Structure 1
Amino acid sequence: MAALDLALFHVPVQRKERTFRSKEELTLDYTDTELRARYRFGREGILFLSNLVRDKLTRQTNRNLALSVEQQIMVTLRFLASGSFLQVIGDTLGLDKSTVSRVVCAHMERNGNWENGILLGDSGYPCRSFLMTPFLNPNEQHHRRYNRCHAVTRSVIERTFGRWKRRFHILHSENRMDPKKVTKIVMVCGILHNICIQLNEPDVAAEELVNEDVENGNNYNGQQDGRGIREHIAETYFNRH
């Protein structure tokens, strides 16, 4: 049997040159339909958002590979719209994961003001000063009126949540970020959703919604320290004499 000679050659390790596909992927040259499919905003919407934060995000750098404000906005929108991991977004756009992370975090610095807001929850939640729940087994007429209004309002909110989550899939998927960052992501998605409405951006194609019974759920039987505020609301706004 003929001998098999193996020649071993030393192949020098070559560092892979970093490549960026931003000119291909992060471009406004798509049609509005194509842009909305990727970023949830058309060209005018992306420019509108860019102008809102241009002074803050313009980078004073001579690096040729620095992302423009528009490209930073598009990276963030792709992350929120797709719900993909930062690494996947980076691979898709030809950017390092660290770059995507820095860009996304740069857009999560604004805090909202919830001081005058009241949350609505079903009877599975405790009644709190900031969280109003339905009356259990209401006997008074104004309590029943309050419950009807509570149910109708929650129905509107649930439909809004459906639109919101279809627009930004990051709200659908599991998010393993720090809870403080997740809070900011939810806030930013809410702000962007309102801007979409302001700019008449079309809704994402509707998916079948799950109709939830707003009156059902496991009743909460713990301390009800928001009952005084709830009673005040029912008496003030729903008690017709």
Structure 2
Amino acid sequence: MAGRQRVLALLIQRYRLPREAIRQLLGAIRQDLRRATRRSFALTPQVQPLAALRFYATGSFLQVVGDGQGLCKASVCRSFQAVTYSLLRLVPRHVRFHSRDEMGATQENLFRSFHIPQVAGVVDGTLIPILTPHVDGHVYICRKGYAAVNCQVVCDHQGIILDVVARWPGSTHDSFVFLANPGDVHEEQYNEAHRLARCIVERTIERWKLRFRCLHTSGGGLQFAPAKSCAVICMTAMFHNIAAKAGVALGEPDEDEEESFEFGLESR
């Protein structure tokens, strides 16, 4: 039993998702990943998602991911692309606003904790580093000096991501992405309650990035064009929700991840 638990723990450490969740995701895209021929030893539908999940989890160089999986860099790259776009259609199932009943629970919790009525979610923006695009690259340079996507995130009181908007260049100001709430006669009290409630989404974003290091600056960011980067952002939001609902705790990074952090924002 102890050996089985260790295997499951290692599985989560490497791929960030429990075994059953990986099986379900694989079942949903198996036909998309199946090759029509075995020519050139095409990778099986079982291997491709694991290679892609390893990249999402670590943000390591594709060559490093391939070495850990026993694959060449080209195979990892093809697997990553195929899995990402196959799973992208599943995102609306897992990243969505709550039903009326579920929303009531969120509103009740946020009102009880922060005394703000009728709140369906908490919103904030975050910068996801990407490879500087060849076209209009300057538009993506954020206030911190690197190319990024300005991503808007909405979560509930439990840290489940309800909505993610990943399409705005890094230079876009948050006020353009979403309209600020106007002040009222109790502005100071409101602002303090708003500040405290906002911590929920800030913690959610932090856990999301720590769980999937490909989004984090320490992992080097997403060294892809904006469209592919936005697809990965949405994908990892879905994975975060699956992991959070399954009660998967954030673990310590393994050796591959720690090695990849040393490279910062250098290009892959």
Same-fold status (TM-score > 0.5): yes
Counterpart contact for 1:163–1:204, Cα < 8 Å: yes
Larger Rg: 1
Q: Aligned partners of 1:101 and 1:44: how far apart in 2? A: 25
Structure 2 unaligned regions, length at least 5? 1-5, 98-120, 127-142, 144-172, 254-268
Distance 1:119 1:86, change over 3 A: same
Q: CA RMSD for the aligned pairs?
A: 3.4
Q: Aligned partners of 2:189 and 2:125: how far apart in 1? A: 16
Give 1:152's aligned residue.
196
The more displaced of 59-68 and 45-54 is 59-68
Counterpart contact for 1:134–1:150, Cα < 8 Å: no
Q: Aligned partners of 1:176 and 1:74: how far apart in 2? A: 20
Identify which of 137, 153, 175 aligns with 1:127: 175
Sequence identity percentage? 32
Shift of 1:162: 1.7
Distance 1:153 1:58, change over 3 A: farther
Distance 1:186 1:154, change over 3 A: same
Q: Aligned partners of 1:66 and 1:176: how far apart in 2? A: 25
Partner secondary structure for residue 205 of structure 1: coil
Give 1:37's aligned residue.
13
Note the 1:1-241 alignment, pairs <5 A: 31-63=7-39, 65-109=41-85, 110=88, 119-120=123-124, 125=173, 127-128=175-176, 130-133=177-180, 140-141=185-186, 143-144=187-188, 146-172=190-216, 173-174=219-220, 175-198=222-245, 200-205=246-251
Shift of 1:203: 1.6
Shift of 1:202: 1.4
More helix by share: 2
Deviations 1:91-149 (A, max 9, x none): 22221211111110112223767999995359x95534x413366xx5622x4454345
Structure 1 unaligned regions, length at least 5? 1-29, 208-241
TM-score normalized by structure 2?
0.55
Shift of 1:164: 1.0
Q: Aligned partners of 2:40 and 2:247: how far apart in 1? A: 33
